[in-house]
Structure 1
Amino acid sequence: MQDDPRAPRSRPLSAWTTRRWLRAGAGLSLAVLAVLGVLGFWVLDRSQTISTQLVDVRSPALSTAFRLESVLLNQETGIRGYGLTGNPEFLQPYQQGLADEKTHVATLTWLLHGDAEALADLAAVEDAADRWRQEIAEPIAAAPAGAPSVQAAASAETGKAAFDRLRAALTREQDHLRADRAAARADLLATTRTRDLVFSAIAVVIAVLTALAFEGLRRGINRPLEQLSADARRIAEGDFEHPIVPTGPADLRQLSAEIDLMRGRLTRELAFTEQARLRLDAQAAELQRSNTELEQFAYVASHDLQEPLRKVSSFTQLLRRRYGGQLDAKADQYIDFAVDGANRMQVMINDLLDFSRVGRVHHNHQEVDLEEVLERTLETLSVGIEEAQGQVTHDPLPTLVADPTQMGMLWQNLIGNAVKFRRPGVPPRIHVSAERDGGLWRFAVTDNGIGIPAQFAVKVFVIFQRLHTKEAYAGSGIGLAMCKKIVEFHGGTIEVDPTRTEGARISFTLAPEPLEALEGPEPLEAPEVPAAPAVEAARPAEPERQPR
């Protein structure tokens, strides 16, 4: 019996899984990199230490030594000038040189701490300077001003010899500091070369490890996965009888076997999924048809209600005009109830039609300057605002891509409600704010009116929900529901700020560009509803938000 050629050969490492291979390779690589990393860290630390010593100690110390020599020369020049002329002005460089000398000596002492030889050189310089001052400078400085000093003439040669000794001490100190700086620089260069060699070796080792890891992954993982992917692709293309050939590490071979066992089950699952998809497509088509019929029904129902309602409204008004005052008070009250009910029904039907048109009739997205729309809205509401002695302010408003008609309806409802729901005896103060919030614009309409209790912050956006009686505040209770539908149609959200206690603040967001999710089939066009005849209690001129 011959062996199956597709069966994997028995090898000593055939039982190793991918995880075990990766652990072994990663462990070896980390060990090598750890050794190289320690060596590299030591070289960097050594280089940094020498560089710091050179930059922060040796170079500043040599520079300070030169400055110390300069101030000592200033002292000698000042004393010599004073001794020759007796002019007190020559003592100023001498006095300044004494103060600068103390500063430079203190700096050198701090920089050279721990360096006994350099501190000894500094001490020698200080001793020579002190002897020169005691023997030459101080006696001349103590002489009276105004005439050449006798001490200066007498001790000229002595002073020159004393200052020459000081110069020699300064030269020895500077030579030692130069030598120390040169040695530190040479040490730094040698350490830098060592560092470059170490990091070059690290780079080579990393490159070799990377190549080995890449080759190992290609042979041990990529090639078996490519074989598995090719087998799976043939099965996905419809060849469900094609077997999966196990290759690679033990876990990948086990995975291939499990995928091969799943092949039969996938066949059954695909058949069941196809049946479910057909049923879902049928249900989606039925739902789309039902939604279309529902929209048409809502429009037609609202439109057809207008005619009988106009008759009821017209004849009840005729009844009140002809027989008003001829019947008893109760009959007149009943007639008024009928007229008021018919008028309110007309308002509710018209508002319901406007509500249904949002996103269906008004669907013309274009660049809209919200500031111009707000100005037109304020002109429309100017009578009501003037009667209430109101004031409306606003921030600079942006230009967005939106439906201009819906933006006008949004501003009319929000500002009209802010004017309507004012506190008795308090003129309304309304402010419209706008700010960028990430990828959206956030707007807010803030007023000083009666406010909205926090527990009703959600209810006010539900259609036909009222928080006050019609006697207190007129309206159909559809204003804020329409605002919510407009904002959501433009990809935003709207809410009542529950933290606002003095009045109300309604904030909403709008996207600068229309969302792709909003782009769909052409909106359903519906014939315009004929205008209702005028009645005594006419529909309010100002659109309103949800009563609070």
Structure 2
Amino acid sequence: MTDRRRLTSQRLFALTIGALTLLIVLGSWAGYASLADTTRVSDRLQLRISPAATAVVELGAALVDQETAVRGFVLAREPDFLAPYHEGVATERRVADRLRTLLADEPHALERLEAIERVAAGWRTAYAEPLIAAPNPESPLVVSSKTAFDALRADVSVLQQRVDEARAAGRRALDSSRHRRDTIFGIIVGGLLIGLFAIALMLQRLVLRPLERLQTSVRRVADGDFEHHVPADGPPDLAALGSDVEAMRERIVTALAESRGQEERLRRSNSDLEQFAYVASHDLQEPLRKIASFCQMLQRRYAEQLDDRARQYIAFAVDGATRMQALINDLLAFSRVGRVYDNVTDVDLSATMRRVRSDLEARMLDTDTVLECPEDLPVVQGDPTLLAMLWQNLVSNAIKFRKPDTPPRIVVDRQDEDGFHRFSVQDNGIGIEPQFEDKIFVIFQRLHPRDVYPGTGIGLAICKRIVEHHGGRIWLDPTYTGGARICFTLPVVAAADQP
């Protein structure tokens, strides 16, 4: 029974698809051949026979122009009357050359064309040129010239008839080719419809009915009846699908309990993010706006009483406040998108560090901070704003948590290991006790009172989030006792990804 079902549901489908494929291949080949033949016949009719018919008319007109010009010249004896004659001769030769190309596969028409050229040349030699040399209306050549030209005109009519016959034959061939093409495509469409009907019938009997039963069971589970058993019946492939769905149901039941715990943790995390957004948008931005506003008012009102250095300090303050507001806005945007951030590009960390050094220049001058950093920091892939934020938070923390009366000394180091860049930011400040290693990376967790060390407690939490977003990890080095040493890793850019 299993073998018969396997043959019905799988091999029979394969045979049907194979037959349809063969029909499509054969039909495509026949259709292509028919289209090619139709195109060939149509091109011959449109590009050769029809233009040849037009050229024959043009040839006849050129010959008539010659005969008319000679008679006019003989009667009027005006040289201007010969201009149509010479133009007609040139046109005749040009059109004859074109006709030889267009009628290359019409030997009878070519023979008639050659005869016309010979007769026309003979008419010019025997009648036209003597009359042009000695114009005399009473010359017997005038009458005999007309008789000879009438015979030439009859030859042109015969050539026109031959070309018309070729055009009629071409149209008949084109109609026949189109009929054959339509018949072939009709057979292809009919075969495809029959094959599709056969497949639909087999789908109904072998797949859809078992799927309906499976769907009913799955729907009960989807509606919340997780204890409902999903049957595994029907052909072997659908039975295997039913077994997989049943196994998935069991895994869902197991994972449901775990997901509820994760949901609670996620709720707390979202609450922290909302608190962060509130603090960033109110407690931080409003003081910054006041600083910038009052510094600008101070500069405008006391501009004449301030020296260059004072103006420069005011400019530093305004610029710092503006930069801080932009940084807060970046943090707010980052908190809204969570862990999804699309602005991934190659980031030169040396340039990033120079930017951070420039942003913190005023604080470093005020605190006599010494920042030692390698000149050859690598290029990594990530978001430039977030990586600049990472370095700025680490360096700012090292400056903020300095020892009293001791100028901060910050050392940035970098090593490569196991496909990662390992960075460290080491300072000579007050340090962090090892038991607080996990707490410092939790958002809004503070180790010191706000009046001693200002801040919202989000710096290292943001650093952790940025590093993990870029595929690395961050930690406190507990072996270093001369201050604090924060270490983190970032993935090495693959050679194929480097510019």
Shift of 1:301: 11
Name the CA shift for 1:94/1:12 in 2 (closer, same or farther; >3 Å): same
Residues 81, 90 of structure 1: 8 Å contact kept: yes
Relative to total residues, which structure has the larger helix share, 1 or 2?
2
Name the CA shift for 1:64/1:352 in 2 (closer, same or farther; >3 Å): closer
Residues 72, 101 of structure 1: 8 Å contact kept: yes
Does 1:276 pair with 2:262?
Answer: yes
State the AA in 2 paired with 1:210. Answer: L
Name the CA shift for 1:103/1:460 in 2 (closer, same or farther; >3 Å): same
Instruction: Please give the alpha-carbon distance, in whole angstroms, between the structure 2 residues aligned to 1:42 and 1:271.
Output: 65
Residues 17, 250 of structure 1: 8 Å contact kept: no
Shift of 1:138: 1.1
Gaps (5+ residues) in structure 1? 1-9, 303-339, 364-439, 441-452, 472-487, 496-548
Paired residue for 1:513?
Answer: none
Shift of 1:296: 8.3
CA RMSD of aligned residues (A): 4.3
TM-score using structure 1 length: 0.52
Instruction: Please give the alpha-carbon distance, in whole angstroms, between the structure 1 residues aligned to 2:106 and 2:285.
Output: 99
Name the CA shift for 1:96/1:289 in 2 (closer, same or farther; >3 Å): closer
Paired residue for 1:227?
Answer: 213
Paired residue for 2:36?
Answer: 45
Does 1:253 pair with 2:239?
Answer: yes
Instruction: Please give the alpha-carbon distance, in whole angstroms, between the structure 2 residues aligned to 1:192 and 1:98.
Output: 42
Residue-by-residue CA offset, 1:307-354 (whole Å, 9 max, x unaligned): xxxxxxxxxxxxxxxxxxxxxxxxxxxxxxxxx99x979x86996699
Does 1:182 pair with 2:168?
Answer: yes
Gaps (5+ residues) in structure 2? 289-308, 333-342, 367-382, 389-499
Question: How many residues get paired?
Answer: 336
Shift of 1:468: 10
Paired residue for 2:124?
Answer: 133
**Stretch moving more, 51-60 or 272-281:** 272-281
Residues 131, 141 of structure 2: 8 Å contact kept: no
Instruction: Please give the alpha-carbon distance, in whole angstroms, between the structure 1 residues aligned to 2:48 and 2:286.
Output: 94
State the AA in 2 paired with 1:141. Answer: I
Identity over aligned residues, as a percent?
26
State the AA in 1 paired with 2:168. Answer: A
Instruction: Please give the alpha-carbon distance, in whole angstroms, between the structure 2 residues aligned to 1:257 and 1:126.
Output: 89
Residues 247, 253 of structure 1: 8 Å contact kept: yes
Name the CA shift for 1:356/1:134 in 2 (closer, same or farther; >3 Å): closer
Shift of 1:76: 0.6
Alignment of structure 1 residues 125-274 onto 2, 5 Å? 125-143=116-134, 148-149=135-136, 153-274=139-260
**Stretch moving more, 221-230 or 10-19:** 10-19
Paired residue for 2:355?
Answer: 460
Instruction: Please give the alpha-carbon distance, in whole angstroms, between the structure 2 residues aligned to 1:300 and 1:83.
Output: 109
Name the CA shift for 1:458/1:205 in 2 (closer, same or farther; >3 Å): farther
**Stretch moving more, 33-42 or 75-84:** 33-42
Instruction: Please give the alpha-carbon distance, in whole angstroms, between the structure 2 residues aligned to 1:141 and 1:263.
Output: 108
> RCO greater where, 1 or 2, for CA within 8 Å and sep 6 or more?
1
Residues 75, 97 of structure 1: 8 Å contact kept: yes
Name the CA shift for 1:493/1:65 in 2 (closer, same or farther; >3 Å): farther
State the AA in 2 paired with 1:149. Answer: N
Shift of 1:226: 3.6
Name the CA shift for 1:351/1:109 in 2 (closer, same or farther; >3 Å): closer
Instruction: Please give the alpha-carbon distance, in whole angstroms, between the structure 2 residues aligned to 1:17 and 1:463.
Output: 74
Shift of 1:37: 1.9
Shift of 1:217: 3.4
Residues 460, 466 of structure 1: 8 Å contact kept: no
Instruction: Please give the alpha-carbon distance, in whole angstroms, between the structure 2 residues aligned to 1:344 and 1:111.
Output: 89
Alignment of structure 1 residues 249-398 onto 2, 5 Å? 249-285=235-271, 355=324
Secondary structure of 2:51's counterpart equals: helix
**Stretch moving more, 219-228 or 80-89:** 219-228
Residues 459, 465 of structure 1: 8 Å contact kept: no
